[in-house]
Structure 1
Amino acid sequence: MRVAHPTRAFWYERITYRTMDADDVADVARYAATAPAEAIRRIRADVRELAHALPPIERHRALSWVDGGGCVGAIGALHRGEPCGFSLSHRGRWIEWSVRPYLEFRVDGGALIPVLGSTCGPY
């Protein structure tokens, strides 16, 4: 019998709200990463893409997180098994990024129970 061994993976999510109201979701992006740095790299790329259009104070805060201790702390939190995130206001919208560790169970086909076809009679 083959046993599935869990591996640690990281669930990345970016939610964009039309307003500061958490019920007004405009867009959701989700991604599973295999390493903390991979998940944080996605946040850094998103934030850098938006940075040019941010007001100076928000741009400084965003780039400080991207290029400074914020992303390093986030990677550290993920290595410790803790979730992390970042958020900012952009053109009247609110954007939140979060990454959460989870256990992923990879099972090869030989470990699955076959499904019986419809030709099988009642029990």
Structure 2
Amino acid sequence: MRESEEATVPVTTAYWCERVTYRSMEADEVADVSRSTAADPAEAVRRIRSAVRDLASVLVPIERYRALSWVDGGGCIGAMGALHRGEPCGFSLSHRGTWIEWTVRPYLVIRVGGRHLLPVLSHEGSARRGE
């Protein structure tokens, strides 16, 4: 193998998606967490839009309006723009006394031996570098 081939490590950007449901509006106790990765910003935002749209019919009117405004309007467009700039994005809403947050963070996927290395997240949920 030539030296230039050894130094080249395939790196791509992927998107770390989380949905966290807190037991109360104070967001102090986690009730549920789901995590996944998306291959591109459109897929990541589509997942949030789908989940929010699924909840919309059972939300109180003000939250329904806010949720659908994000889904069908500028919120999801802004989220897509942030991801394309390499910035995180998210959306949150209240539902039956709980607080739900969706976040998406770009991260670099490093392929080693044909496998992906996933990001290491601190307890605050932000990616750590070199630790």
For Structure 1 versus Structure 2, the TM-score category normalised by the shorter chain is 0.7 to 0.9
Structure 2 unmatched ranges of 5 or more? 115-131
User: Equivalent residues in 2 for 1:98-117 (5 A)?
Assistant: 98-109=103-114
Whether 1:26 aligns to 2:42 is no
CA separation in 2, counterparts of 1:22 and 1:88? 11
* TM-score, structure 1 as length reference: 0.84
Aligned to 1:7: 12
Q: 2:40 aligns with which of 13, 35, 39?
A: 35
Whether 1:95 aligns to 2:100 is yes
After superposition, the CA RMSD in angstroms is 1.2
Q: 1:46 aligns with which of 41, 46, 51?
A: 51
Aligned to 1:85: 90
Structure showing greater radius of gyration is 1
- 2:112 aligns to what SS in structure 1? coil
* TM-score, structure 2 as length reference: 0.79
Whether 1:17 aligns to 2:16 is no
Aligned to 2:67: 62
Counterpart of 1:34, as a letter, is A
Q: May I ask how many residue pairs the two structures share in their alignment?
A: 109
